Structure 1
Amino acid sequence: MKLKQLVAAGVMLSSASLVNAADSDSEFVVEDIRVEGLQRVALGAALTYLPVQVGDTLNDFRVAQLIRSLYSSTHFENIEVLRDGDALVIKVTERPTISNIIFDGNDDIKDEQLQGSLDGNGVRVGEPLDKTVLTSIENGLKDFFYSIGKYNADVTAIITPLPRNRVDLKLLFEEGDAAEIQQLNIVGNEIFSDEELTKNFELQYDTPWWDFLSETRYQRQTLQGDMETIRNYYLDRGYLKFKIDSTQVSMTPEKSGIYIALNVEEGEQYTISDVELVGDVLGHEEYIKRVLPLTPGELYNQAEVTYTEEFISKYLGRFGYAYPTVTTVPDINEEDKTVKLTLSVDPGKRIYVRRINFNGNSVTSDRVLRQNVSQMEGAWLSNNLLESSKNAMSRLTYMEEVEFETVRIPGEDDKVDVNYNVKEQPSGSFNAGIGYGDRTKLSLQAGIQQDNFLGTGKMVGINLSTVSYQRSVQLTYNDPFFTIDGISLGGSIGYSEFDGSDFNVVRYNSTQYSIGANIGYPIDEFNRINFGLTYRNVELTDRGYYEQTQRFYNQFADVNDPDAPVKYQSYETSVAWSRSTLNRGVFPTAGSTQRASFSVTTPNSDVNYFKTVFDGRWYFPLTRDQKWSVLARVRMGYGNGYSDVNGDDQILPFTENFTAGGSDTLRGFENNTVGPRGVILSTNNVINGPDGERYPGDPSKDSLQVIRRSLGGNAMVLAGLELIVPTPFVEDEMSNSVRTSAFIDVGNVWDTEFDYDYYSQFNQPDTRYGRLLDYSDWTQYRSSAGLSVQWISPMGPMVFSFSKAIQKRDGDDAAFFTFNIGQTF
């Protein structure tokens, strides 16, 4: 085949060449087109990019168009245009296909972020590799490292050829160490000192060793934020014309240290002379003026100006004006250093909601989520209702994250769609099998416990279990939206056999069955009230003799059969108030929750008693991302009897006593061992007198014994303080499923009916379980400190605690490690 040069086009694209004809004729009519070198690209696909067809006249201009068009397809890295007679021959070299992408040495950028950046540039597995794009990617990544102070960082793209025109792409990172801030100076400030201006900076230098939260490495974005901080500091104190003239950032020769200087001009303080509200505020001008924080005669405050603009915008958003424009125009009087503020308000159009959509809920039905949405379709768009709906869904225990966005409808300037994007998490447990725990020992379990049963939002529990201390079966049900108004309805049926000696409490066996129902009413978005009624039938056998329990047993004593089982029935009514402003239902980081309950048995019950319990938890975020938070919690309870039996006052049944100790109450102590212990009083035997009558022996020989088993008490106070920290070695996407915290627990359980003065008069032999304490003394608290890890596992919540008892009492049992399934703080 004779090749003839056609035209020289290399001036346009250096990788393309054209062979000209031997004669001077640079144009010819194309009678045939051949494309050579195709491997992965189909011939038909290649031809679609050719602006030349058979019968066209080919010249220099058309050749340039042809080459440009083929390169635009991104399939080829080299192109040659040749002429064979009147045939157009195009020889191509295809770009290699990416077989694999590897990241090596990247610590500050995660693989997912890198892959997302590559995807945006069309670099992904299975796609052709454009080597020209790699240079811009390398430079972009270097710029990122420079922005966080790593000036010695380097990024290299390594291409490894493979058979069949494939390549492996490896991005090799050498990040190096970040440059530390050596000095940060502010120049030109006379009113405020450097220390006062920089104390709220994120960038710090020369920090003490214990301040591990401070950021000492240079980051460009952080410096920009700190510059905004100092600007706001002045503007919030009346320095309306404050400005930063220049910023100098210099580097040490080895690129390991940074010196920063900010040159500022403070200006003068300005006072507000007048505040004027103009524009359309929908007839709410008087109300807005009353609540505005801007007051004539006070110093200008930029934070209050911003708050005012946001307040007006949110206020108008309540009435459907979702996109108002609020602008503050300052009129400065240089003579008396005052400023008049004019608030210009344009509410825009009233916005309506066309449709509310839910995304990400693979288990929970849309109907369940919609029950928690107070914003209605077809109604005005209300920012308050959108936020309250988000908060209500976030507090569901089966929701990990909830976000929303409003999307304008093309062609409609007064309608939007609202999209709620949710991320679900395990809401309970499906269990069947064998387990072991430090409290339950060997256990056999089978059942379902779900807060979101089959995605209906209803709580259903069917549990069968046998553990060392209890065999039980229980069915529970609760429908949080029994009515459309949010009235809940629930109930439970249960049967259990309990052995107290295996539960770290005094010896007794109980058999109990119960049935109960409850109904709840929402007061508002945060508050709720519940009413309940429960019937219980209890039988106590194998009773140990203890001073504290005998008073209760005496109510049912049978003089003819003192060892007969004790049986009683009760009808318990209850009322409970709950409030929650938590940002999430599980592992919250902000907000609070409180619950107060009061229960009392009806007068026709065999036992008459009441109990009241208060639980409160408060979360205080320490950082903006709320990865660091402080949890303060308290639990208080009190119970006692009312009425009397045969002239003796009734007391709280010891089976209803409060107990503490273990991973869900007071960590660092064995389960249920904190508080009063069983007391056994041994009196001197009765002797026969000379007349045959019986007389008591010598009382000085009576003795008292404190046993190891705990009895619990009718009063309780537990409190704790926890520092919630990011869990090491856990990815961000798992941060809402795993929680780590350092804690301090403190509390006590006591018996207000215990008569210490009476029992202390008896002899007490030394035992390894300690001597008698005043179990009515609430000040005999215990405390512990340690580390806790909580995990929302597929089987349910798990809590692992490593703790050290700090304040112990005589006879207490400490526990370094505890774990619990089914309870989180």
Structure 2
Amino acid sequence: MGKQVNNLVNLLAFKTYSKCYLAFLLFVSCFNIQAQDLDYKNGKTYTLGQITVSGNTSFSEQTIVAYSGLSKGKEIKIPGEDIRDAIKKLWKSNLFSDIEVFVTNIEGDVATLEIHLSDLPQLNDLKINGVKNGKKEGIIDDNKLKRGVKVTENLLTTTKNYLTSKYKKDGFLNTKVHINTIDVKDSIQTSRVNMVLNIDKGEKVKIDDITFSGDSVLSEKQLRKSMKNTKKKNPIRLLKRSKFIEADYKEDLVSLIDTYKENGYRDARVLSDSIIVNNDKTISLKIDLEEGEKYTFGDITFIGNTVYTNQQLSRLLRIDKGDTYDGVTLAKRIADDTKPDANDITNLYQNNGYLFSNINAVEVSADNNVIDMEIRITEGKPAYFNSVSVVGNDKTNDHVVYREIRTRPGQLYSKANVVRTVRELGQLGFFDAQEITPNFNNPNPNEGTIDMEYVVKETGSSQIELQGGYGGGGFIGTLGLSFNNFSIKDIFKKDAYKPIPMGDGQKLALRLQASQFYQTYSFSFSEPWLGGKRPVQFSTSLSHTKQFLYDYTNYEADKSRSFNITGITFGLAKRLTVPDDFFVLSQSVSYQRYDLNNYNTGLFTFGDGFSNNLSYSIGLSRNNTSVDPVYPIEGSSFSVTAKASLPYSLFNGTDYSELKEEYDDLDLTDTDDFERAGEIDQERYNWLEFYKVNFKGTWYTQVAKDLVLRPNVEFGFLGAYNQDRGVIPFERYFVGGDGLANYSLDGREVVQLRGYPNQSLSSEDGGSIYNKFSLELRYPITLAASAKIYALGFVEGGASFDNFRDYNPFDLKRSAGLGIRIFMPAFGLLGIDFGHGFDSIDNSGVKNGWETHFIIGQQF
């Protein structure tokens, strides 16, 4: 019998196939022995002799043998696990398509083996059909279909499954993907294939109808509304189009039951749901429900609470005995996962140090449809920050980051402080707000400690504006540099220029703009933490502009006649602690000198002279918008500012009523009278006298997963202390257009109102009062660090008035339109709006129609 077994072993082969199927084949020609009769227990131990390699492979015999784990002189059992393991190791390398191990000869106790294998083919060329060229690179990257990759069955399967799933998520339920491989015949021994990837997305599947059965308590309209992502066809719905995505549908089935739970039907469930394919290639959804009975809350008992009383917790829970049972609201009042700063019981504990607290709601009785609840609380030990660190601030100096952090080592843990820190770091503008991550490391419930690590990703904080264009009758060139993370202390350090000194959080801006009609130069600098110990911002700016008179005879600028404006401003802004530390009190003093050199226009009746504007401004603002300043999704921003000059008419001894009477009696067509009018204006506007009040409020609300609603209200009023002196011709409001002030440095405020030409909704000299109301709906296309892009739709209305007697807040110029914004760190905010004005500019009754507005560098 031993001789028979030896003969059988000589015919024994071990083989694996490309689908990871491993089998042991026993070929028997002269003995009636079944393969299953031989197992590892019947194997015999041999010493390996020569091991050879055959087949189609580019690897050396030495490499393959070494990788298999087999070696000459090694004792193995045949049949046995050694050969099986060798085959599995070779297979796991993902380099071969077929592997076989044969026993070629046995002499005594020495066995000779042959390893026969073939290399997996490499991808030579890829052709993708059925998608746009711009999408092909993404498919290649996502599926790793680069030239030279090994083409395995797994690669083909995962690529097909990925693409099918990808397009199904977009509503293309009938997507078909076919992959063909073609062997490449060339002089190179390496096996290569060309791949053809055919993608047929088919038509996007829409939902014709959604019907329910078993529903009697809630209407089908209520049930469909609760399904946020799965909608039936509706031609008037623009924001949420009909499409079927399985994952969203399953999520909506949960939302459907949550709607019942919110109305007291805690036992509601989906019995079944089915998809019906219609003849017009749409589908219908049928959902069978079991509603159950309505429940109410009974007794609610708190167990385990020692830090807070039952009354304190009940006030936060806001659920009373007899209320309709609402499991969804109950869960949110205990822990609202959708809002990190929610007013719930979990945050009550976590904001006061109890990081390791645990709160669970347990039903203890449901007799007669009345549910008694126990809120079981495990408070744990108060937690303290052991260490606090920041990772990723390669350019920004540590002290700039750490001064914004609200969590300190040794400080009692507060979730609110962690959330606020993330917000403050995002608001700096030096880091990608979407990538700021707070990591809780080494939590130790026994010791009551936690290590806090904030991970940030720096983004470009400097911007350049380089423009050239034709406008106003000539070429306009602009050079602007804005360094938002500047370091002035390193300005004389040669090694700090990479390319500029950075890292201290200061802001430095330079801007030059020129054409044949004007020149403007401006410089500004701000330090957000004056002295380095308190959030007190110091700012200063210096500007100068020279505007030349337009000569209508030769359509050129007359350089001998100019209007020069020079200004300087110093300001301080302090973060307050009362009512809360979102409030900022700002104050500034500014001076402008207006100098006219033979510059006769309608602005004054004098062409040679000057005016001085010395004013004080005070403002109170509050900004608690969310982390990303480019695309806030929640919060609000309010500001009220007052700007005023000294009441010179009270103490300068001039009788302005007499001057006004004289001025009104003058005939400005008479040369002498015109000169006298100029003298009167020079006296009236020698030192400008005025007061000015502005208000602006903006809200951000996330109305859906990605949609953000932005209402905005603005109001401004320019007044005079002395009515005989009148409202000054500077500091006025110019409404309409893109809202860009261009080169105007005379204190004017240019107010955006799209759908109308620039500054077309105010009188020639500007209005003294204005209001504006707008509503924007924003949708993010991408919020990546390299470029943040969002689309918007807007409706707005506004107007300006020359005096308060004419003011009517409801007399508005209305518009609506669409736009897009692109924020790139190196260039700031860019955008374009298409606005349609519904009203006429000159009250002719003819609406203004469409206007295109380009937005460059405007604030968010």
Question: Normalized against structure 1, the TM-score is what?
Answer: 0.79
Supply the AA of the counterpart residue of 1:184.
I
Q: Distance in 2 between matches of 1:497 and 1:291?
A: 62
Report what 2:729 is aligned to.
654
Pairing 1:31–2:46 present: no
Aligned with 2:589 (options 533, 537, 547): 533
Contact 1:592 1:617 in 2 (8 A): yes
Residues 614-633 of structure 1: matches in 2 within 5 Å?
A: 614-626=695-707, 629-633=708-712
Q: Distance in 2 between matches of 1:513 and 1:149?
A: 61
Pairing 1:464–2:464 present: no
Query: Judging changes above 3 Å, is the alpha-carbon distance between structure 1 residues 219 and 50 closer, same or farther for their aligned structure 2 residues?
Result: same
Q: Distance in 2 between matches of 1:42 and 1:325?
A: 62
Q: Distance in 1 between matches of 2:137 and 2:160?
A: 17
Q: Distance in 2 between matches of 1:378 and 1:255?
A: 67
Q: Distance in 1 between matches of 2:804 and 2:230?
A: 58
Q: How many Å apart are 1:475 and its aligned residue?
A: 1.6
Q: What SS does the corresponding residue of 2:774 show, helix, strand or coil? A: strand
Q: What SS does the corresponding residue of 1:306 show, helix, strand or coil? A: helix
Contact 1:790 1:824 in 2 (8 A): no
Q: How many Å apart are 1:46 and its aligned residue?
A: 5.0
Report what 2:528 is aligned to.
480
Pairing 1:823–2:841 present: no
Q: What SS does the corresponding residue of 1:656 show, helix, strand or coil? A: coil
Pairing 1:668–2:712 present: no
Query: Judging changes above 3 Å, is the alpha-carbon distance between structure 1 residues 348 and 501 closer, same or farther for their aligned structure 2 residues?
Result: farther
Aligned with 2:212 (options 150, 165, 186): 186
Contact 1:245 1:263 in 2 (8 A): yes
Q: What SS does the corresponding residue of 2:735 show, helix, strand or coil? A: coil
Q: Distance in 2 between matches of 1:78 and 1:371?
A: 62
Report what 2:363 is aligned to.
330
Q: How many Å apart are 1:184 and its aligned residue?
A: 2.4
Pairing 1:567–2:610 present: yes
Query: Judging changes above 3 Å, is the alpha-carbon distance between structure 1 residues 243 and 446 closer, same or farther for their aligned structure 2 residues?
Result: closer
Contact 1:577 1:595 in 2 (8 A): yes
Pairing 1:748–2:799 present: yes
Pairing 1:600–2:633 present: no
Which is further off, 52-61 or 12-21?
Answer: 12-21
Deviations 1:507-550 (A, max 9, x none): 9943232222111111244221111112333323334364x744
Q: Report how many residues are paired.
A: 739
Q: How many Å apart are 1:477 and its aligned residue?
A: 0.7
Report what 2:632 is aligned to.
588
Report what 1:686 is aligned to.
none
Query: Judging changes above 3 Å, is the alpha-carbon distance between structure 1 residues 187 and 424 closer, same or farther for their aligned structure 2 residues?
Result: same
Contact 1:179 1:255 in 2 (8 A): no
Q: Distance in 1 between matches of 2:640 and 2:44?
A: 95
Report what 2:713 is aligned to.
634
Q: How many Å apart are 1:735 and its aligned residue?
A: 10
Q: Distance in 2 between matches of 1:117 and 1:716?
A: 53
Query: Judging changes above 3 Å, is the alpha-carbon distance between structure 1 residues 734 and 742 closer, same or farther for their aligned structure 2 residues?
Result: farther
Q: Distance in 1 between matches of 2:397 and 2:125?
A: 39
Q: Distance in 2 between matches of 1:348 and 1:7?
A: 70
Contact 2:271 2:289 in 1 (8 A): yes
Which is further off, 437-446 or 784-793?
Answer: 437-446
Q: Distance in 2 between matches of 1:98 and 1:169?
A: 7
Supply the AA of the counterpart residue of 1:743.
F
Q: Distance in 2 between matches of 1:778 and 1:29?
A: 101
Q: Distance in 2 between matches of 1:790 and 1:9?
A: 68
Supply the AA of the counterpart residue of 1:571.
L
Q: How many Å apart are 1:663 and its aligned residue?
A: 0.6
Aligned with 1:196 (options 212, 218, 222): 222
Pairing 1:266–2:345 present: no
Q: What SS does the corresponding residue of 2:408 show, helix, strand or coil? A: coil
Contact 2:709 2:777 in 1 (8 A): yes
Contact 2:769 2:807 in 1 (8 A): no
Contact 1:405 1:419 in 2 (8 A): yes
Q: How many Å apart are 1:726 and its aligned residue?
A: 5.5
Contact 1:445 1:463 in 2 (8 A): yes
Report what 1:222 is aligned to.
248
Please list every run of 5 or more consecutive structure 1 residues that lacks an aligned counterpart in the other structure: 554-562, 677-709, 755-774
Aligned with 1:65 (options 62, 85, 109): 85
Q: How many Å apart are 1:276 and its aligned residue?
A: 0.4
Cα RMSD over matched residues? 4.1
Residues 418-457 of structure 1: matches in 2 within 5 Å?
A: 418-422=452-456, 427=461, 429-432=463-466, 435-436=468-469, 438=471, 442-453=475-486, 454-457=502-505
Aligned with 1:491 (options 540, 545, 563): 540
Query: Judging changes above 3 Å, is the alpha-carbon distance between structure 1 residues 288 and 143 closer, same or farther for their aligned structure 2 residues?
Result: same
Q: What SS does the corresponding residue of 2:574 show, helix, strand or coil? A: strand
Supply the AA of the counterpart residue of 1:675.
S
Q: Distance in 2 between matches of 1:180 and 1:777?
A: 48
Deviations 1:226-281 (A, max 9, x none): 222221122112223222233333445x6934343322222222222211001245
Query: Judging changes above 3 Å, is the alpha-carbon distance between structure 1 residues 185 and 818 closer, same or farther for their aligned structure 2 residues?
Result: closer
Contact 1:615 1:636 in 2 (8 A): yes
Residues 395-414 of structure 1: matches in 2 within 5 Å?
A: 395-402=427-434, 403-409=436-442
Query: Judging changes above 3 Å, is the alpha-carbon distance between structure 1 residues 323 and 204 closer, same or farther for their aligned structure 2 residues?
Result: same
Report what 2:690 is aligned to.
609
Contact 2:647 2:721 in 1 (8 A): no
Contact 2:791 2:821 in 1 (8 A): yes
Q: How many Å apart are 1:481 and its aligned residue?
A: 2.4
Q: What SS does the corresponding residue of 2:68 show, helix, strand or coil? A: coil
Supply the AA of the counterpart residue of 2:759.
N
Supply the AA of the counterpart residue of 2:584.
R
Contact 2:356 2:445 in 1 (8 A): no
Supply the AA of the counterpart residue of 2:98.
N
Query: Judging changes above 3 Å, is the alpha-carbon distance between structure 1 residues 663 and 527 closer, same or farther for their aligned structure 2 residues?
Result: same
Aligned with 1:8 (options 6, 12, 37): 12
Q: How many Å apart are 1:177 and its aligned residue?
A: 2.5
Report what 1:165 is aligned to.
191
Report what 2:772 is aligned to.
718
The percentage of aligned residue pairs carrying the same residue is 19
Q: Distance in 1 between matches of 2:172 and 2:75?
A: 57
Q: Distance in 2 between matches of 1:144 and 1:450?
A: 42
Query: Judging changes above 3 Å, is the alpha-carbon distance between structure 1 residues 249 and 39 closer, same or farther for their aligned structure 2 residues?
Result: same
Q: Distance in 1 between matches of 2:295 and 2:571?
A: 62
- Bigger relative contact order, structure 1 or 2 (CA pairs below 8 A, ≥6 apart): 1
Deviations 1:650-688 (A, max 9, x none): 334312222123211123333333322xxxxxxxxxxxx
Supply the AA of the counterpart residue of 1:430.
I
Report what 1:786 is aligned to.
817
Contact 1:16 1:80 in 2 (8 A): no
Q: How many Å apart are 1:315 and its aligned residue?
A: 1.5
Question: Normalized against structure 2, the TM-score is what?
Answer: 0.76
Q: How many Å apart are 1:214 and its aligned residue?
A: 3.7
Aligned with 1:544 (options 600, 610, 626): 600
Deviations 1:282-339 (A, max 9, x none): 34544223322121122211132112221222121112333432111112343x3211
Which is further off, 299-308 or 257-266?
Answer: 257-266
Q: What SS does the corresponding residue of 2:730 show, helix, strand or coil? A: helix
Q: How many Å apart are 1:479 and its aligned residue?
A: 1.5
Report what 1:557 is aligned to.
none
Pairing 1:80–2:123 present: no
Please list every run of 5 or more consecutive structure 2 residues that lacks an aligned counterpart in the other structure: 1-6, 32-42, 336-343, 487-501, 552-557, 649-685, 740-751
Which is further off, 132-141 or 10-19?
Answer: 10-19
